[in-house]
Amino acid sequence: MESTICNGIPVYYKTVPARSASPSPFTIVLLHNAGTDHTIWSAVTEILSEKHPVIQVDWPGYGKHRTELQQHGLADYADILSIFIKKNKLTSVVLVGNCLGSSAALEYCTRVKGEGIHSMILFNVLLPRTLGLMGRFFYHWANSPLNMLYNGVRKTLSTPKPLASVAVKYQMKKPNLVPNEAINHLKELNNDPENIQNLGLLVESLHKSNHLNSIKMPNYFPKTMVVWGDKNRVLPWKKGKSFVNDFGPTGHAVLNGGHLVMLEQAKESAAIILRTVAIH
């Protein structure tokens, strides 16, 4: 993987050039959710890169090439994205994210008022309002007078292999649709204590983005598609539907899958991305 320095820390990424003799002028930047890495988009990338150059980013704090990020609010990840786009001289990007990736893209887009963004495809948008039961429990605990206790627990969090296996399958509706290689890789990531502890920091910092809870799609936004897994237990579709109704994106789609629906439904996920990019 390649790397570049953003805010003083290395950000690792994988560049996949378009295979077409006449590639698209739009670069697709793929952003993963907390607790995983760029590989959740590998099957989707294979399809997209037929015509489009694709960049798969590893967020600092996650993945095998993990680097330490001091602050874990969505604005901090948007800072990383902003610098990354500038350093790579990307002038017409398609931002595709899942969970943390979607919310960081949303934060970044509001900051630059859509400038330089051709379109966005936001999978399972992470916001305080879209958290499921388990997420809400940790979110309220982290932001309560018992915060010190939360941090004490968070710093000692670990996920033994059996628990890591459960955590991965919890994010899917039909794990049998996902290659064993991909599932085993995600288990390794979830088995890493620092990976999970950084997830805990993200939950604690999520309140800093309460302003996105009530966002309505501004006129300056590019084409924006919201995609959700119908059996997402991390960020339930019931919560997502409420967000979609209030936000008013260009369009939305519900796919047969869970929080990692792009692994379960790679062809369908890629098709939605390509259709959104093609909208005039």
Q: DSSP assignment, residue 77?
A: H
Residue 280: its pLDDT value, please? 66
CATH, residue 210: 3.40.50.1820
Nearest-10 crossing angle of helices 193-205, 147-154: 160
Count Cβ neighbours within 10 Å for each residue of 258-271 and write b for 16 or more, e otherwise. bbbbbbbbbebbbe
Please count the structural domains in the chain. 1
Residue 161: its pLDDT value, please? 82
Residue 154: its pLDDT value, please? 79
Q: Which residue reads 């390509």 in tokens?
A: 274
Residue 258: its pLDDT value, please? 96
Range of the domain at 11: 2-278
**Average pLDDT, 10 consecutive residues per value, the chain (280 residues):** 88 94 92 94 97 95 75 88 95 96 96 96 96 90 88 79 87 92 91 81 87 94 97 97 97 97 97 91
Q: Which residues pair with 167 in a beta bridge?
A: none
Q: For residues 29 and 2, is the Cβ–Cβ distance under 8 A? A: no
